[in-house]
Amino acid sequence: MNSKRFSRIIRLISAVTILAFLLTGCFTVRLPFLDKKETVKEMTEETERITPEYTENFDDFADEVFAAFVSMDQITLRSMVLDEKKFGIEKALSSWGDFSEETSEEEWALIEQIYENLLEYDYDELSRGQRITYDMLKLFLGGELALKDGPDFYDPLNPYLGWHLYLAFNLDTYQIRDKDDLDVYMTLVKDIKPFVEGMCDYVVRRSEAGMFMCDDHATTVIEDCESVIDSKGQDFIGGFEDRLDDFDFLSSKEKQEYAKNNKENVERYVIPSYELIVKTIEDRMGSGEEGFGLARYDGGKEYYERILERKTGTSMSVDALFEMLEETAVTNKEMYFQSSIMVDYTLLNDAFSAYDAPEKVIENNLREMKGRFPEIPDAPEDFYVVEKMPDSFARFAAGMYLMPQVDEPWENTFYLNESYTEGMDLYEVTSHECVPGHLYQTVYFLTSDNSNIPLRYLISNYGEGLGTQEGWTTYIEGVSYEMAGLPEAETEFVGYYYQAQYAWISLLDIGINYYGWTKDDAEAFFSGNGLDEFIPVSDELIEMVDAMPGMYLSYTVGRIEFQKMMDRAKATLGDQYSEIEFHRFYMEVGPSTFDILNREMDEWMKEYE
């Protein structure tokens, strides 16, 4: 066996998004108000917050809610829509955000108002599609309101998901069409400083409440920030100057002037911001509560329950999830070892040897999808571009899909880590992120005739019901092996391995964050189940699930629940079951929760009676 290939214990494949960057793909999106951030007032002082009111037309209400959420800051607005006027939005409240308690109170009031207005609608009078929107919005708002009076667990300087990693990326991916957009970009660079100042004040308040990160995580964040400082902010300069070359609305002299001004802004506003982050962290190191996991905090278990509800897309209790994952890990581990005697290991390399570029993978998948997956009408040939993974993500992400604006579905970007540019790794990451994975499911939804697409798109980007999306893409990974030509025995072997692996890390996640395991507890559990042969418990893994609780459960639980749905459809429909029609049904419902999907599948199967 190629041990290097099968050593990917913890890789974040993607997408969902950290707002802004995070309205992007396979990382999990955070809406601004949930991060205690609003906007920098200096940018658009006269802009008023959109406050959605109850109207007889539910679709109008849904559009107002969408507009209220995305207009909170300029980064979010441009990440989600290309032409804000189409959505009745004049301008964003401002640029990046602020972490003030006053802003937090305003935003909680907005959530409460929207929730109360939502409950005014007669559910029985809504259409089938509107009911899905209603259910998703109610789940999202109600879930957050349940945590209103609890501790603030959000850490804006998380070593994996912190803002220090995404400021440059947000700017690099900010769409600039004309000189007005370019001037907004220049303001965004300046407004990093007040945003970071407010964020650091917020970090201090969390530290005083005993919520500061562990020293290892603090050291990682400091190193990341010092890298930006030592390079004199090159991440904020080089990419911008490259983009200037393509702006045909500027003269050569204007390009030089903008490049000069941007460099000065980086020196004056960006570098001091990163220096402030370093100083703040150095001053607070050692102030956090000892140990790992949310369970060590008052309210931590309740917060974790909400994380899993959102990320898995299920209403199962944590105890029930743990029991299901334990069975999955043990069963797949056993099947993995049993099937290993029938595997031709050379095929794990040879079957993928012809694929040395993402474009080749996508072209092959599009051919192999015919008759198995529904086609997307009117798809242009150039519906995606491939870019090198930014260095700040390369240490933990194999690939990343940057999701398009809701009104521009064909603008898709796939970022690929240079360590995953060949063989099986390339094939599965590209299939997961692109076609028939996230890119395919996203474009299919945005070009469908679903109700309330903008609001549902935003809610799904936030991460509500994320498991229904990642369940699809982890299923796709297995299908992609077949598309590449890997025989059935080898395909099953690889599938057993990854399903056991996903379940293993998910069990550790729950153990550390919900049950309050120590490292000794974790080792005893995995040893008792014969799972210690699979992956050793390490400090690095424990620190990872501490920093990103619930991250892997969207993949693991999503895959299990997806398979349950497929098995139920096959058992119920028998000879009438059709693979392509099941795929079509799943894609047409769109991102939601498994409760909703199973309800809708009951209706879909009635069509075959």
Question: pLDDT digit string (tens) for 455-490?
Answer: 999 999 988 999 999 999 999 999 999 999 999 999
pLDDT band at 162 (very low <50, low <70, confident <90, very high): very high
Token pair for residue 8? 């990917």
**Which of 26-40, 57-71, 85-99, 336-350 holds the top average pLDDT?**
57-71
DSSP character string of 54-114:
--S-HHHHHHHHHHHHHTTSHHHHHHH-S-GGGGT----S-SS----HHHHHHHHHHHHHH
- Strand-pairing partners, residue 399, are 416
Please check the confidence at residue 4 and state whether its pLDDT lies above 60. Answer: no
Please check the confidence at residue 39 and state whether its pLDDT lies above 80. Answer: no
In this predicted structure, what is the pLDDT of residue 349? Answer: 87
Question: What is the rounded average pLDDT of the residues 359-386?
Answer: 93
Token pair for residue 45? 């002082």
Question: What is the rounded average pLDDT of the residues 318-343?
Answer: 96
Question: What is the rounded average pLDDT of the residues 355-379?
Answer: 94
Which of 438 and 103 is assigned the larger pLDDT? 438
pLDDT band at 362 (very low <50, low <70, confident <90, very high): very high
| Closest C-alpha to 544, from 505, 518, 507 | 505
pLDDT band at 86 (very low <50, low <70, confident <90, very high): very high
| Closest C-alpha to 465, from 301, 331, 325, 596 | 596
In this predicted structure, what is the pLDDT of residue 46? Answer: 57
Indicate the SS3 state at residue 601: helix
Please check the confidence at residue 17 and state whether its pLDDT lies above 70. Answer: no
Which residues fall within 8 angstroms of residue 317, CB to CB, at 6 or more apart?
A: none
Please check the confidence at residue 24 and state whether its pLDDT lies above 60. Answer: no
Please check the confidence at residue 14 and state whether its pLDDT lies above 70. Answer: no
Question: What is the rounded average pLDDT of the residues 291-306?
Answer: 94
In this predicted structure, what is the pLDDT of residue 392? Answer: 65
Least confident range from 77-86, 102-111, 217-226: namely 102-111
In this predicted structure, what is the pLDDT of residue 29? Answer: 28
| Closest C-alpha to 212, from 138, 151, 255 | 151
Please check the confidence at residue 35 and state whether its pLDDT lies above 70. Answer: no
Q: Which amino acid is at 37?
A: K
In this predicted structure, what is the pLDDT of residue 568? Answer: 98
Distances (CA, A) of 583 to 86, 266, 440, 498, 588: 32, 48, 12, 22, 8
What are the backbone dihedrals phi and psi of residue 137, each rounded to the nearest 5 degrees, phi first?
A: -70, -40
Per-chain mean pLDDT for the chain: 89
In this predicted structure, what is the pLDDT of residue 369? Answer: 96
What is the model's pTM?
0.91
Question: What is the rounded average pLDDT of the residues 542-556?
Answer: 94
- Strand-pairing partners, residue 207, are none
* Percentage of residues in the chain having pLDDT higher than 90: 78
Question: What is the rounded average pLDDT of the residues 22-51?
Answer: 45
Please check the confidence at residue 230 and state whether its pLDDT lies above 60. Answer: yes
In this predicted structure, what is the pLDDT of residue 429? Answer: 94
Token pair for residue 332? 């797949």
Please check the confidence at residue 13 and state whether its pLDDT lies above 60. Answer: no
Contact 461, 23 (CB under 8 A): yes
